[in-house]
Amino acid sequence: MKRKIWLLVVLLGFLTVSRVAAQEELPGVWNAPKIKGIRFLPDATYQGNPFLNDVFTAGEINLMDGTKIVDVQLKYNNYRDELIYYNADITTQILVDKISVSSFSLADERGDKHFYIKQTVTGYMPGERYLEVLSEGDVVLLVHRKVLLLTCPVYGDPGKEKSMSYQEAFNYYLYNSRKGFELIKPGKNSLLSKLDNSDQQLLLRKILRKNDLKITDEVSFLKAWNLVKSNKMVIHY
């Protein structure tokens, strides 16, 4: 009988210690970012890069419930349109649940900041995705930094197994709340076609010549877009 009582006392003592230990761990749990997600499993390695940033960089996440989470380490997977954060407490990469996210921002390796919003795109290639905001205003300029995984031919050896590589296939959009989304190509003629009238088109041509600006890529297109805004031209689509 005494032995049974002694064992019961030992068991109760063990349970009490366990409960105290668990209570001591709670603050770490509550202080952790309230980010919903699952463990991220990397894809196989192919040529090219599926990520916006090769390494985790400091960023912020705005959740659908209004919560703002700052100073978290983030990566954006262009290929899968997924946001990943590094949980240092458990040294694990977490795939963030897209349903819970409203927007996020992060810096690339050069320190340039990128701001993304979650939107349901209509029209061409409809669906819910993360879009980077290139310019705000009545008409917003957005880009979906889509990356495709494509088969690459092996030149000079047709019998050799073909390799796979990641290749950029970005889509640019105009958006406002009244008209929704419309694709736009990052080129001179495409931008001219969106101006309200021929007088504005002529004005933009003159401004581009004056600034010696040729639209050949995203950077030069964005410079031209900002010239349109600074000269108060009306985008019509």
**Residue among 98, 80, 14 at smallest CA distance from 42:** 80
Q: Which residue has the higher pLDDT, 196 or 31?
A: 196
| Strand, helix or coil for residue 190 | helix
Confidence at residue 155, expressed as pLDDT on a 0 to 100 scale? 62
Contacts with 130 (C-beta within 8 Å, 6 or more apart), sequence order: 76, 81, 83, 98, 104, 116, 117, 118, 144
Q: What's the pLDDT band for 7 if we cut at 50, 70, 90?
A: very low
Q: How far apart are CA 84 and CA 76, in angstroms?
A: 6
Domain assignments of the chain as residue spans, ordered by start: 37-183, 186-237
- For 43-92, how does the pLDDT look when each residue is reduced to its tens digit (9 = 90+)? 778 888 899 998 999 999 999 999 999 999 999 999 999 999 998 888 88
Q: How far apart are CA 33 and CA 68, in angstroms?
A: 10
Q: Helix axis angle, 198-210 relative to 218-230, nearest 10°?
A: 120
Q: How far apart are CA 174 and CA 96, in angstroms?
A: 27
**One-letter amino acid of 75:** K
Q: What's the pLDDT band for 29 if we cut at 50, 70, 90?
A: very low
Confidence at residue 96, expressed as pLDDT on a 0 to 100 scale? 95
Is residue 235's pLDDT more than 60?
yes
Q: How far apart are CA 120 and CA 142, in angstroms?
A: 13
